[in-house]
Amino acid sequence: MRNLGKRLLRWLLLGHRWLGIATALLFAVWFLSGAVMMYVGFPRLTETERRAALPPLALSSGLIGPDAAFAAARQTAPPARIDLGMLGDEPVYRIQALDGARTMIAAADGRRMERVDSDRLLRIAAGHPAARTVEDLGSILRDQWTVHQRYDPLRPFRLVALGDVAGTRLYLSERTGEIALDTTRTERFWNWLGAVPHWIYLTPLRAEPALWRDVVLWVSGIAIAVAASGTVLGLSRLRLRPRYANGRTTPYRGIAAWHHLGGLIGGTAILTFIVSGWLSMNPNRWFSPTMPDPAALARYLGPEAAVRAFDPEAATRTCPDLKEIRFVRVGDAPLTVAICGEDAPRPCCGTAAPDPENLHRALARLMPGEAPPRIERIEAEDSYWYGPRETRPLPVLRAVFADPAATWIHIDPTTGEILGRMDRSNRVSRWLFNGLHTLDLAVLRRRPVWDTVMALWLSAGFLVAVTGIIIGWRRLRRRFG
């Protein structure tokens, strides 16, 4: 048994040595890029930025209603929502299907609009608050910042530079005229040192979601093997009593000693970050989707029966900076919502926020065969509903189902919009990823406490990676130099 144990440790050492040489640089890049991501996130268009760029909604008599617009779209499935907004100086309906597909209809005459020409898109860009000297950078299907599949319904894009000090660029959908994304020079620069290497977010690879997912899972899986084997070897070589002949707790000297002893601390950081990052890719589909599927959403919205309310005069009285009108359904009841420049969305045009009885019926249809849920009103952040107000508005309703998966549905109480789905697996994932990978814990949520702890944690892992690079380089030079 002793000989078997020695042979296993020998093979473990060889595996750790050569896999470590192959991955040490990747470990160092992960820790450095993680530090960058603490302060610069991947580019996205926030709701505040989107609204600020929208022109005021100009309503006039003679516009067709949302039901006529939906009929003109000739869609067979009920829409997820219908938005009335501006395309430059022309009011249009943008109809979004449950699968995300969009259709645009002119509000003046009901004609279907398949494409937005470049001249109109440039005029829209020129109306942006940050615009100075607008420059057309051409049409693109995807690039580094629009590679995610959520942009698919809006492709292709017209890329426009605004000529401002921040170096802002807009991505305007050539299908609907919407601003899909804005990026600044600072975001673009730092993300090449942050999210791009950290997520292995290379455009040709990320454009193939299944392939990218497999690559990240395999690479991080190998990294887990390196970190785990290093931990086992480090513990096996550590001597507290009795110590080695030189009085040390490690048989190594110099960089190798730093790697050994530092690895016992930094290795914990590496294992924590790598395992939680691997789990974020949802291996084996252990974690459920965070939104109901289109069929469930269709049941929640209810049949396309009641006529949607549309009163242009009443809409303009809702708020002085009206930007859009959104037509949705909750159960059997249509709801018209005014989207204002700065204020929160509010019901308008004779409709009201979803009443509890109708909401209960809609939620019961969401999960047929299950008992109606218990509805809680969440007024303050908790361990599962927290974050920026744009993505985690408050108050929010939480529908708690008694199904085997213990499903929660979060709903906007004003609009009835489903904001997310969370079952037992998602709540476990919240702690395994957010808790371990980003140290998103209540005791660390205040800054600079979180910054300090995260910096120390990243530094420990980076130390192990750098010493591993030095040791690996020396070995390769001796062997092949």
Q: How far apart are CA 112 and CA 118, in angstroms?
A: 18
DSSP, res 142: -
CA distance 43 to 181: 8
- Residues 177, 124: contact at Cβ < 8 Å? yes
Structure confidence at residue 304 (pLDDT): 67
Q: Are 59 and 91 in contact (CB under 8 A)?
A: yes
Tens digit of each residue's pLDDT (9 = 90 or more) over 441-466? 888 878 899 999 999 999 999 999 99
Query: What end-to-end distance do the CA atoms of the chain give, in Å?
Result: 38
Angstrom distance (rounded) from CA 4 to CA 9 = 9
Instruction: Specify which residues 46 forms β-bridges with.
Output: none
Note the pLDDT tens digit of each residue in 66-118: 999 998 988 877 788 899 999 999 999 999 988 888 999 999 999 999 999 99
Q: What is the mean pLDDT of residues 124-143?
A: 96
Instruction: Report pLDDT digits (tens) over 8-62.
Output: 888 888 888 889 899 999 999 999 999 999 999 999 999 999 999 999 999 888 8
Q: What pLDDT digit, counting tens, does each position of 296-342 carry?
A: 998 888 776 666 778 787 888 888 899 999 998 887 788 899 999 88
From start to end of 286-441, where are the E strands?
322-330, 333-340, 346-347, 374-378, 396-400, 408-411, 418-422
Question: What angle separates helix 449-480 from helix 2-37, to the nearest 10 degrees?
Answer: 130
Q: 């929640």: which residue's tokens?
A: 300
pLDDT tens-digit readout, 49-76: 999 999 999 988 889 999 999 989 888 7
* 245-295 pLDDT, tens digit each: 778 888 888 999 999 998 888 888 889 999 999 999 999 999 999 999 989
Read off the pLDDT of residues 398-417 as tens digits, 9 standing for 90 and up.
Answer: 999 999 999 999 999 988 89
pLDDT(187) > 70: yes
Q: What is the mean pLDDT of the chain?
A: 91
